[in-house]
Amino acid sequence: MYAPSGQMTAAKPPVGENEIVLRTGEFPTTVVVGKGLLFRISDFTGKTEAPFVVADEITGPLFADFLEQRKGLFTLPRGEEGKSLPRVSAIYSALAKSQVDRSGIILALGGGVVGDAAGFAAATWMRGIRLLQCPTTLLAQVDSAIGGKTGVNLPEGKNLVGAFHPAEWVFSDVECLRSQEEEDFRQGLAEAVKYGIGENWNFLSWLEENAGPILRRECCVLLRLVSECSRMKLAVVSEDEREQSGSRARLNLGHTVGHALEAVSGYKRWKHGDAVAAGMMVAARLAARLGELGEEECLRIGRILSRFSLPTGPDRPWEDILPFLARDKKFTGGVPSLVIPRKNTSCTLRSDIPLPLLRETYEESL
């Protein structure tokens, strides 16, 4: 249950001690991580026009009334079907009805689905209007709300249509995470482990030491978890805002095999974070064969994934996933490019992995 500490009072509290404000010189988004943020957004933004809120059928009823003001509310269905062109078209109609013009603001209140669809509407309505993101899932707080990628699915495939449209502000209120279903929360934990293995091994140690309080969703550890991950995501996307220099590719650790597993299961049996966890384990074993990680680090990665109830390997034979791997845009000329973790430093994209080695490692991970 979302229950902001301090509740709504006439006099707004000042920016509190437990709030972390993150900003880099290059990237146009300011991220605020805290608790009870939803009802005091204007403490940060100053007085603005009331935003038009896009939520889904879960997050609207749970959280929309905590916002200080709104010009309208559009509710998407829950899940991936909310991220489609017909739904975005319905958002446009609602924006027109509420007379949202070029000075308007869209506020996305929900998980990655709401963030992507509302973000795409903001990117395209009147050639682009202001966007605020209030991510309410762990995955959205640590990953999807930051970085400017917005988009929708087509019947032909996921995320095929989209735009870069960074939010001006991201308000990550960790109190929202208390009502998340366990399975959904776990998907965000996989991305958090990814930052540990891929960007900062000290953070991985912190995750190991704090697994209990994280799983109990204690507010102070969630504050640290979300702010550390946000800091890392902001740093990576600032280096490579439009995915051109290649730094952003590091965020794909575990994703090449992960995406193939999701696709082969028709996006049903394998959820994104679970699939990425299995993909990270394959990448770690590959790193061990390439001399980048020791056996002890592989075991350690397996242990932390298990502690968070994440899978430690794929379940489909190589022949099943190969056609989906080959569809990956990083798979050129029959040779895959894979992000490989390295001991005590950030991961790296390698384009010299022989396919038979990947196959052997994959099969060893089954």
Taking CB under 6 A as the rule, does residue 116 contact ligand NAD? yes
Radius of gyration of the chain (CA): 20
Q: Which of 35, 87, 130, 149 binds ligand NAD (CB under 6 A)?
A: 149
Q: Which of 6, 13, 79, 246 binds ligand NAD (CB under 6 A)?
A: 79
Q: Which of 75, 144, 312, 337 binds ligand NAD (CB under 6 A)?
A: 144
Taking CB under 6 A as the rule, does residue 179 contact ligand NAD? yes
Taking CB under 6 A as the rule, does residue 254 contact ligand NAD? no
Q: How far is the CB of 296 from ligand NAD (least distance, A)?
A: 30
Q: Which is nearer to ligand NAD, 30 or 179 (CB)?
A: 179
Taking CB under 6 A as the rule, does residue 317 contact ligand NAD? no
Taking CB under 6 A as the rule, does residue 175 contact ligand NAD? no
**Contacts with 259 (C-beta within 8 Å, 6 or more apart), sequence order:** 275, 279, 324, 328
Among the candidate windows 56-64, 100-108, 288-296, 339-347, which touches ligand NAD by CB under 6 A? 56-64
Helices (H), the chain: 42-45, 59-63, 85-97, 112-124, 138-139, 182-198, 201-209, 211-215, 219-239, 255-264, 272-289, 295-307, 318-326, 355-365
Q: How far is the CB of 145 from ligand NAD (least distance, A)?
A: 8
- The set of long-range contacts for 2-5, using a CB threshold of 8 Å and a minimum separation of 24, is 2/38, 2/62, 2/63, 2/66, 2/173, 2/175, 2/176, 2/178, 2/179, 3/175, 4/35, 4/36, 4/37, 4/38, 4/39, 4/66, 4/173, 4/175, 5/35, 5/36, 5/175
Taking CB under 6 A as the rule, does residue 233 contact ligand NAD? no
Taking CB under 6 A as the rule, does residue 58 contact ligand NAD? yes
Collapse the DSSP code of 365 into the 3-class scheme (helix H, G, I; strand E, B; otherwise coil) and give the result. helix
Taking CB under 6 A as the rule, does residue 231 contact ligand NAD? no
Q: Residue 252 catalytic?
A: yes
Half-sphere exposure of 256 toward its Cβ, with a 13 Å CA cutoff? 27
Q: Which is nearer to ligand NAD, 161 or 290 (CB)?
A: 161
Catalytic residue among 40, 130, 224, 233: 233
Task: Provide the terminal-to-terminal Cα distance of the chain, rounded to the nearest Å.
Answer: 39
Chain residues binding ligand NAD by CB under 6 A are 56, 58-59, 62, 78-80, 83, 110-114, 116, 136-137, 139-140, 143-144, 147, 149, 159, 176, 179-180, 184, 187
| Residues belonging to the active site | 127, 149, 191, 233, 243, 248, 252, 255, 259, 272
